[in-house]
Chain A
């Protein structure tokens, strides 16, 4: 049966292929694995935020009955590692120094967890405590205390300064120039599944690691370096991930320690983190202080923008260099910004390192920009929706910072949420205490460059046909709940004219599946999807060739649908899919075909131009309506509308789920979530005290899908998992202002801040709550690059492996 646009599978709402296993408890997450003779591992972690390690005595732990292995950092080859080649600053177990509470210094494998814990208490570590630097200001004020020995300055991990055209010149001619300061508090992923790894170093000298990881390929690469074992002898299998959100994208101490412990103990070893350890493992949202200066014409058109960000990076690099660039990358993709200047600095502090969380580096500037636009619209007497509409980027153009926008549905997104929410009727007309706010965003559909420079595919897929008509899809992708296994099944089913149920997807096993870089940057649907389509088309070509020969027609006459291969326009002339497989295998031999995908090479030709490019961008618009209690300061979202340009909804049910989850997480970040520290310790490393929205906190949400059929996407699809989060947070802030006239220029918008703002208003002061002071920090002269704003997109994007 054929649906819209001639598709059989694409565009239909259907359950995920793994839904049945998930509702019956059959899905085996990493901690559900148990191997014969398996030992349990535990990590000894530093209680100090900053200290030198003077000695570690493990003798008493080793002597404890039931202990199979005790290791320290000295058991690893020397040298550090890190996810980014430019930030090799981590150790699985610290040797000379700890830089945060939670840094691991030793590990134990024992007969059970209790014995392992007892053994940890018998390890004696002598520390020499150093002064902890717990904020950007602390770290900059004390260059004599060094957290790391590398970077762009004392305690400065990375500094970026780029200029695309002369912003000062346009500010001189603008009708309105606004300068605002915003602060976005750090928060964490909080996946429901705590990280877990099971390692088995076999008697053949080969290592297998099962882990809850979003990027098995990167773990595979780094284990080779960290353990000094040939990668050929290491196999990494990503178990189904019980929520990642970016928090399982680095290689972690517990994964590495499990491997080493297994080698020493001669047994499989499992290490499952506790919830408290997960909070300290972190790699979540950077706290970012921002200054943004924007020029506007009278009609609201942006004439230029100067943006500065200071990121509190924590103790290690992680993805921080990319995070820093991302704070400045995408402002220009959403709106027309003819000239643009960006300066960013990431500062080391003695806290768990920040890294990628849903939206990676972009929710913070999005909050700043969208709140500033709201203020500017008010000053200019413009409807904030109409003002954004006028500023929306044009399709198939380049931005000031040389990013290529292909399709954009932003104007339609704005129109749809304005319509659905009753924006025009409600804005400024709701009773005091009730308000409505709007914001927009854009996001990558996959990072255009890999973590490490190479010319190989970013995604590989093998499609193999069985004589019985079943099809196996082998792919290095990791399903973290977003439904990537299902999407691959839908795409292959569509191409081959079979049902998704006929397909088994085998993900993320470095021995069996071609490399996929991982489930991050919203890349899997587009990149692995395109690779899967290519592989399936190669298989289909063989099937058509064989079937056509049998039927006495040419291959180009053939079609596949409803589990049949037949002559197009003569549906009765044909055969079952399985029969076609038998004919094709008889003719060609084994039917297993690869597909490869690498994004078009469009990175701007300047240092830093590699962060921000993507095959295409999703766009979103959001309206939030809130109630604000003027007595308690409590903000309760009443309703949320998000319109999202997803290119094409391959399965609208799944896309809606991604948008709804984004709204949820955005509301949490807007109103309650914060990862903050006191005296070197996480203030509330538990699920009870770290506030996140429950079913009672969630308002009704409305998802509107906009389709733009992007030429880069698989059947036109773009991403759906990160972009829709971004506008929610500023839309809440703007709604709070509409409700009670208070500007909360920092997240989370907690009741105490609202009450303070109202009190300031009553005292006749500006009703604004937020940071005012900026760090004392001098950015270097920016690298001057010509603005590419408004240039047409390259007519033909060069996509490697396309043929």
Chain B
């Protein structure tokens, strides 16, 4: 049995005709072509399918679309605004918080739910907020760093600044070398890379 649904996804109204038993994850990926939302288990165990519904993180693999009518659904495709990356996306890219990248969309949305309400989370608060999102590549360190950095930037209006306190950079001489002053201001637009180099200066 199929049902006609109207969903608000990333600020756009989308009409869908889908089988009633299909999950939000399936409708997003298969009917709306928004494949940025990932699946890792379809059982609510890994967090890869996390999206926001009215700003709250939900597991789209356990959510029926019919429950989401009239509510704001946000996927990873809706994080950037007008070609400008969300500070979380910018920080994840700059700090190497995405390795294989498969957990990244869910991780970003869980982090956004945290940071919108609390732009100055402690590291333990970040750990708590992301505890339902499994990552097998990074060991979480750079993800935690990135969320903290993004929070810092959001308090300052979303822009990276040269003078901001730096992300944790490990103890390697390589990382210190990486922090040499840059020629240009770190831009915030997708695809530009020099920002990262300014970001990895060690703590004084």
Contacts and interface: CB of A to CB of B under 8 A. Distances in A.
Interface of A: 1, 3-4, 11-16, 18-29, 31-32, 34, 189-194, 240-245, 274-275, 420, 480-483, 500-501, 649, 652-657, 660-665, 686-688, 692, 694-696, 698, 700-705, 707
B103 interface: yes
A244 B200 CA distance: 28
A661 B180 CA distance: 25
Given A31-B39, A243-B136, A663-B139, 11 more contacts: A13-B197, A24-B77, A29-B102, A191-B102, A482-B99, A653-B96, A687-B46, A692-B136, A696-B131, A698-B139, A703-B172
A242 B183 contact: no
Contact of A687 (B45, B169, B193): B45
A664 B103 CA distance: 15
Contacts of B169: 13
Contacts of B172: 649, 652, 655-656, 703-705
Interface in B138-193: 138-144, 169-175, 177-180, 183, 190-193
A481 B100 contact: yes
Nearest to A652: B174
A555 to B, nearest CB: 29
A11 B30 CA distance: 42
Interface string B35-55: 111111111011010000000
Contacts of A480: 100
A109 to B, nearest CB: 17
A193 B101 CA distance: 10
Bin chain B's interface residue count: 35 or more
B102 A193 contact: yes
A392 to B, nearest CB: 21
Contacts of B136: 189-192, 243, 245, 661, 664-665, 692
Nearest to A660: B139
23 contacts: A4-B177, A11-B174, A13-B174, A13-B179, A19-B92, A22-B101, A25-B104, A32-B29, A189-B136, A191-B102, A242-B38, A244-B100, A245-B136, A481-B99, A653-B178, A660-B142, A661-B136, A661-B138, A664-B139, A687-B41, A688-B43, A688-B45, A695-B126
Contacts, number: 237
A25 B99 contact: no
B101 A481 contact: yes
B27 interface: no
Nearest to A644: B172
A22 B42 contact: no
Interface of B: 29-30, 34-43, 45-46, 48, 75-77, 79-80, 85, 88-90, 92-96, 98-105, 108, 126-128, 130-144, 169-175, 177-180, 183, 190-194, 196-197, 200
Contacts of B108: 23
Nearest to A27: B101
A240 B104 CA distance: 14
Given A24-B190, A240-B101, A688-B43, A19 B126 contact: no
B19 to A, nearest CB: 8
B178 A18 contact: no
A656 B138 contact: no
B42 A25 contact: no
B36 A242 contact: no
A13 B175 contact: yes
A747 to B, nearest CB: 18
B131 A694 contact: yes
Contacts of B128: 695-696
Contacts of B180: 3, 12
A658 to B, nearest CB: 8
Given A23-B108, A695-B126, A655 B174 contact: yes
Contact of B100 (A15, A241, A700): A241
Contacts of A15: 93-94, 96, 193, 196
A501 B38 contact: no
